Amino acid sequence: MPKISLDVIVAHCDRILRACEIGDYDGAANGLQVANTGGVGRIAAAVDASLATIKLAVAAKADLLLVHHGLFWSARQPWTGKTHELLRLLVGNDLAVYSSHLPLDAHPRLGNNARLCAALGLRDLKPFFAARGRPIGFKSAARLSRAELAGRLERATGARPRLVPGGPEICRNVGVVTGGAGGDLKLAAAEGVDTFITGEGP
């Protein structure tokens, strides 16, 4: 099967995820982080561009690895130790890396927040929880018991949620931010939610 141009795939991802429009943390470097020689026949996807996931992508003979958490998070990062091994594997196996952090969080259809809301049966989503000047999560009116919502979460994620009690037993306004937003409970509460689902707790 002929390979697709890496440039075509990158342009499509940049456009649909609005990689250049949505602000992010300094050094996050959304978009193509490592190029290959130009062709893509197989794509792998992971949450993190870690040494372990890169080894798996190489073993799967992928040409492109799509990730949520990319390789670079600071302006200066030495290429030593595991970072050197990781980059050596990428270049040596002609594996490109494309990362989308907050742009993926914020996407109303493809993003992790939107997909979790869909899995939970939440509808009529409204933008919620600003980061870097733009909402990245979603909130929805609901009428679910806390236990029912916890059950839906467990079925959707395959993991038992950690419940921090508070708020009403019946959840009527649910906010979802899948990343590490547990330290910003005041921001969530200020937006009127009585139930806050996040990837990392307070």
Taking only the tens place, the pLDDT of each residue in 12-25 is: 999 999 998 888 88
CATH fold, domain 107-198, is 3.40.1390
Of the two residues 166 and 55, the one the predictor is more confident about is 55
Residue 45 predicted with pLDDT over 70: yes
Of the two residues 121 and 189, the one the predictor is more confident about is 121
Least Cα distance to 50 among 105, 102, 97, 100 occurs for 97
CATH fold, domain 4-101, is 3.40.1390
The C-alpha atoms of residue 63 and residue 72 are separated, in whole angstroms, by 20
Q: Where in the chain is the domain with CATH 3.40.1390.30?
A: 4-101, 107-198
| Residue 154: how many other CB atoms lie within 10 Å | 12
Q: Would you state the pLDDT for residue 198?
A: 93
pTM: 0.89
Q: Note the pLDDT tens digit of each residue in 78-109.
A: 888 888 999 999 999 999 999 999 999 999 99
Least Cα distance to 104 among 46, 147, 34 occurs for 46
Q: Which residue has the tokens 């594997």?
A: 89
Q: Do 72 and 29 touch, CB atoms closer than 8 A?
A: yes
With residue 153 as reference, give the H or E element that holds it: helix 146-157
Q: Would you state the pLDDT for residue 202?
A: 67
